[in-house]
Amino acid sequence: MTRREIIKLFEASGLALTPSRPLTLFTQYNNKMDKKEFEVIIIGGSYAGLSTAMTLGRSLRETLVIDAGKPCNQQTPHSHNFLTQDGSTPKEISEIAKSQVTKYDSVRFYDGLAVSGKRSNKGFEITTSKGDIFTAKKLILATGIKDLMPDIKGFSECWGISVVHCTYCHGYEIRNKKTAIIANGERAFHLSSLVNNLTKEITIITSDKKDFDENQLAKLKQHNIQIIEKEISEIKHQNGQLEKIVFKDGSTEIFECAYASIPFEQNSNIPKELGCKLTENGHIEVSFMQKTTEEDIFACGDNSTMMRSVSMAVSSGTITGAMVNHELTQENF
């Protein structure tokens, strides 16, 4: 049954139509679907995955999007720097995207977690946590990354609200505020140079001042950027709004916001399981056209780039969709 047929059924039942009702119904129907074979499976249905799905849907490709529904930015109240959606909530952006992709009948959605993947005579076999198995000729990984929260009380509650990772996403909103930069060495120095254009009240909080060379220390001094060499024990906050940083020696310092550089890991083990090479930084290695090191496997979005943003995820998704469609076309033409 197509999405349009489901909406018609829904309307015939006399229930009020809302933008989300047909979509929910469609998703529920798809979860019970008996279709198991596709041309393409996309694991991850956030910005990168949906963007890929739109391109493939518009190319009439039988596509399955498997999504666990946990994008990395879900805690941030507003998303910025994405044209036409500047200041929207992350959910608003993905809901509009999903409702638009749902229009393409060849794209199906499955709510759930893909837990393993292997090659088969049909291309790939993907198994979900509910035990469903789907196959496809091409596999697209749009799985994102997981930020690893440091062991600091209050940190994760402030993440994306008043403790942020990116000047382009949130810097404008926290301009001219008393700002901490929680990072070490090169990363702290680089962030300071960017943040210096947004506020003049900057303090770097680092575990080791010796990570800076003489030139860097001179530059930081020239711009009146303070350095605190102490370990943080807690971030005091009100509903995610940073109020003060507490150090392990018991001292405190008042701040209004912070930038933090924290480690990450891949959200999914499937890329590794299928032999995709990772870069030194831990991203999936991809070519200019989003191809991984493994035949017929593509990756897009945060899992394969340092340029982390909604616009980049959407852009790499579009490239991936076009490249996968191109390969399928060449194979069948």
Ligand X SMILES: Cc1cc2nc3c(=O)[nH]c(=O)nc-3n(C[C@H](O)[C@H](O)[C@H](O)COP(=O)(O)OP(=O)(O)OC[C@H]3O[C@@H](n4cnc5c(N)ncnc54)[C@H](O)[C@@H]3O)c2cc1C
Asked if 52 is part of the footprint of ligand X (rule: CB under 6 A), the reply reads: no
Separation CA 317–CA 263 (nearest Å): 24
Asked if 66 is part of the footprint of ligand X (rule: CB under 6 A), the reply reads: yes
Q: Which of 67, 125, 157, 296 binds ligand X (CB under 6 A)?
A: 67
Q: Which of 159, 189, 255, 298 binds ligand X (CB under 6 A)?
A: 159
Asked if 143 is part of the footprint of ligand X (rule: CB under 6 A), the reply reads: yes
Which DSSP letter does residue 291 get?
A: B
Q: Which of residues 172-231 bind ligand X (CB under 6 A)?
A: none
Stretch that binds ligand X, among 44-52, 56-64, 206-214, 218-226 (CB under 6 A): 44-52
Nearer to ligand X, 98 or 220 (CB): 98
Q: Which of 174, 179, 302, 321 binds ligand X (CB under 6 A)?
A: 302
Q: Which of 9, 17, 20, 69 binds ligand X (CB under 6 A)?
A: 69
Nearer to ligand X, 104 or 264 (CB): 264
Asked if 113 is part of the footprint of ligand X (rule: CB under 6 A), the reply reads: yes
Nearer to ligand X, 82 or 189 (CB): 82
Q: Is 289 helix (H, G, I), strand (E, B) or coil?
A: coil
Separation CA 128–CA 316 (nearest Å): 25
Q: Minimum distance from CB of 326 to ligand X (Å)?
A: 21
Residues whose CB is less than 8 angstroms from the CB of residue 49 and which lie 6 or more positions away in sequence, other chains included:
42, 43, 65, 67, 140, 142, 300, 301, 317
Cβ neighbours, 10 Å, residue 248: 10
The number of residues that bind ligand X (CB under 6 A) is 40
Asked if 309 is part of the footprint of ligand X (rule: CB under 6 A), the reply reads: yes
The neighbouring-strand residues paired with 120 are 123
Asked if 237 is part of the footprint of ligand X (rule: CB under 6 A), the reply reads: no
Q: Which of 107, 139, 204, 313 binds ligand X (CB under 6 A)?
A: 313
Asked if 125 is part of the footprint of ligand X (rule: CB under 6 A), the reply reads: no
Query: How far is residue 28 from each of residues 24, 31, 166, measured CA to CA in Å?
Result: 6, 5, 36
Nearer to ligand X, 81 or 216 (CB): 81
Asked if 163 is part of the footprint of ligand X (rule: CB under 6 A), the reply reads: no
Backbone dihedral region of 229: left (phi > 0), alpha (psi from -120 to 50 degrees) or beta?
A: beta
Q: Which of residues 252-281 bind ligand X (CB under 6 A)?
A: 267-268
Residues whose CB is less than 8 angstroms from the CB of residue 309 and which lie 6 or more positions away in sequence, other chains included:
81, 82, 166, 168, 169
Query: How far is residue 48 from each of residues 52, 100, 241, measured CA to CA in Å?
Result: 6, 14, 29
Q: Minimum distance from CB of 224 to ligand X (Å)?
A: 28
Question: 30 and 5 in contact (C-beta within 8 Å)?
Answer: no
The neighbouring-strand residues paired with 234 are 153, 246
Q: Token digits for 270?
A: 């499937």
Nearer to ligand X, 85 or 206 (CB): 85
Nearer to ligand X, 157 or 302 (CB): 302
Asked if 117 is part of the footprint of ligand X (rule: CB under 6 A), the reply reads: no
Cβ neighbours, 10 Å, residue 11: 12
Q: Which residue ranges make up the site for ligand X (CB under 6 A)?
A: 43-49, 66-73, 75-76, 79-82, 113-114, 142-144, 147, 159-160, 169-170, 267-268, 301-302, 308-311, 313
